[in-house]
Structure 1
Amino acid sequence: MKKLIATLLTSLTLGAGLVSGAHASGGGIDWDKFPTDKMEDRASLQNGAKLFVNYCLNCHAAAFMRYNRLRDLGLTEVQIKSNLMFASDKVGDLMKVSLDPKQAKEWFGAVPPDLTVIARSRADGSKGSGADYLYTYLRTYYRDETKATGWNNLAFPSVAMPHVLWELQGQRAAKFAEVADPHDHSKTTHVFKGFEQLTPGKMTEQEYNSAVGDLVAYLQWMGEPAQAQRFRLGVVVLIFLAIFSVLAWRLNASFWKDVK
């Protein structure tokens, strides 16, 4: 329990740091809306789990999620073992990584955070949900040779993590324009004007956006696997209360009808 609380606090702290960093770099960008319909699509969630295991689980752990919980997405244990387990032997194991934290800090400047509740810790009331942030973040990488990794990001300026999905999206450059500050004409600011595709990726832009939506849907689901069940149970409870209220009202009317 202490470890879980510590991880949650770390995630929240890192999330606050990301938002602060974005605001410090010219206010950041507006977040795009995550396609919430993917949360109801099992095929999207299954593809998101596959992308997570192949591209995220090398460095980022999900130390409070077990592989066998993926059965809730309609996967069998055989499918989980055959397609999604590369760093563990037992389907009941936690999604941990073998990356040494000390080496990670030397390579990236910081230890990659645990992603179990990443979508729940990145929300910003003025910009959107954590899923909106992740959906924007994973789609706004661009080449920047002034950075140690060769990459930068509009949603998280000067990000330490390189673009792990670049083979799917391709390499892009960001175009900026110098615009006079409306409050101080002696100063100028960089304004984002769009992307320029440098090399093609394995996916089209539409395919890549859909794949990122799948991945974010899985990250959102992983933060609360019982969310859909909780919503369904809530609907059942509300229907029960509505029926009970009608019955109680009619029973009350019947009981008091002969009382003068």
Structure 2
Amino acid sequence: MTFLKKLIAALALVPALVLASEGGPSLDHAPDRTKDLAALQNGAKLFVNYCLNCHSASAMRYNRLKDIGLTEEQIRNNLLFASDKVGDLMKVAMQPKDAKVWFGAAPPDLSVIARAKSSEAGSGADWLYTYLRTFYKDDSRPTGWNNLVFPNVGMPHVMWELQGINSAKFVEEKDPHEAGKTIHKFEGFEQVKPGKMTKTEYDNAVADLVGYLEWMGEPAQNTRKRLGVWVLLYLGIFAVLAWRLNASYWKDVK
């Protein structure tokens, strides 16, 4: 029994050891904005202005934005490109072959990106929230940008005017897992040029954008959760009635 307990404890540590060996940064917790209509509307605006130029969301139609409180007129006047219609899918004109030449790979579709990025290290929302806030200037990269969460990423920092330009500070240390090898340890960011937003304002904007991406992955998620609560209440009441009915049915049986 003692051996079995030790084996279970060792297996429980495996995911943590794997993550530690990767040396990736810890993910910041993303605020939940999926129920805040104003935040979702702002996130939709940021998505159209900064993401939809390269990334499509081919599983989402513009008119679905009415679910977050926007009217068809607001969608048409503020969120559509000239040739798009309210009922169109959120697609981009850029061809995959051109994107591969410019960025090294075609930008992924973002319809369910918040769900796709979920892992043992955190939720997909946490990954996106940390990723969009950890770009830094790196002249060795083709785009001039790098990212702490996604090293050597092909995507440039499209929101740099809002956040500003940051440089990353690294120090070299001996690798504790391999003798004779050194690793670059992240020490922090240093702002080179301020952006249009303060750090707090930019973090809030990213939280709105991530909230929208999370909502877009499943627009009916809040309805599903509300229905789930009522279903569980119904099952609980039904279980009590079934229990008492069973007791009444068998009370005279000895």
TM range (shorter): 0.7 to 0.9
Residues 186, 249 of structure 1: alpha-carbon distance in 2 compared, 3 angstrom cutoff: closer
> In structure 2, the residue corresponding to 1:40 is in which secondary structure?
coil
Residues 138, 178 of structure 1: alpha-carbon distance in 2 compared, 3 angstrom cutoff: same
For the aligned residues, what is the CA RMSD? 1.8
CA distance in 2, matches of 1:163, 1:39: 24
Residue number among 21, 25, 28 corresponding to 1:29 in the alignment: 25
Residue number among 184, 209, 212 corresponding to 2:203 in the alignment: 209
**Pairs aligned (count):** 235
Residue number among 161, 164, 167 corresponding to 2:161 in the alignment: 167
Aligned partner of 1:46 in structure 2 is 41
Contact 1:61 1:116 in 2 (8 A): yes
Task: Indicate whether 1:59 and 2:54 are aligned.
Answer: yes
What is the CA distance between 1:245 and its match in structure 2? 1.8
Aligned partner of 2:119 in structure 1 is 124
What is the CA distance between 1:171 and its match in structure 2? 0.2
CA distance in 1, matches of 2:160, 2:39: 20
Task: Indicate whether 1:252 and 2:252 are aligned.
Answer: no
Normalising to structure 2: TM-score of the pair?
A: 0.87
Contact 1:119 1:134 in 2 (8 A): yes
Residue number among 148, 160, 163 corresponding to 1:154 in the alignment: 148
CA distance in 2, matches of 1:61, 1:87: 16
Runs of 4+ in 1 over 6 A off after TM superposition: none
What is the CA distance between 1:183 and its match in structure 2? 4.1
CA distance in 2, matches of 1:59, 1:89: 16
User: Larger Rg: 1 or 2?
Assistant: 2
Aligned-pair identity (%): 68
What is the CA distance between 1:185 and its match in structure 2? 5.5
What is the CA distance between 1:246 and its match in structure 2? 2.0
What is the CA distance between 1:251 and its match in structure 2? 3.0
Normalising to structure 1: TM-score of the pair?
A: 0.85
CA distance in 2, matches of 1:111, 1:189: 30
Residue number among 61, 66, 72 corresponding to 1:77 in the alignment: 72
Aligned partner of 1:91 in structure 2 is 86
Unaligned residue ranges in structure 2 (runs of 5+): 1-18
What is the CA distance between 1:132 and its match in structure 2? 1.2
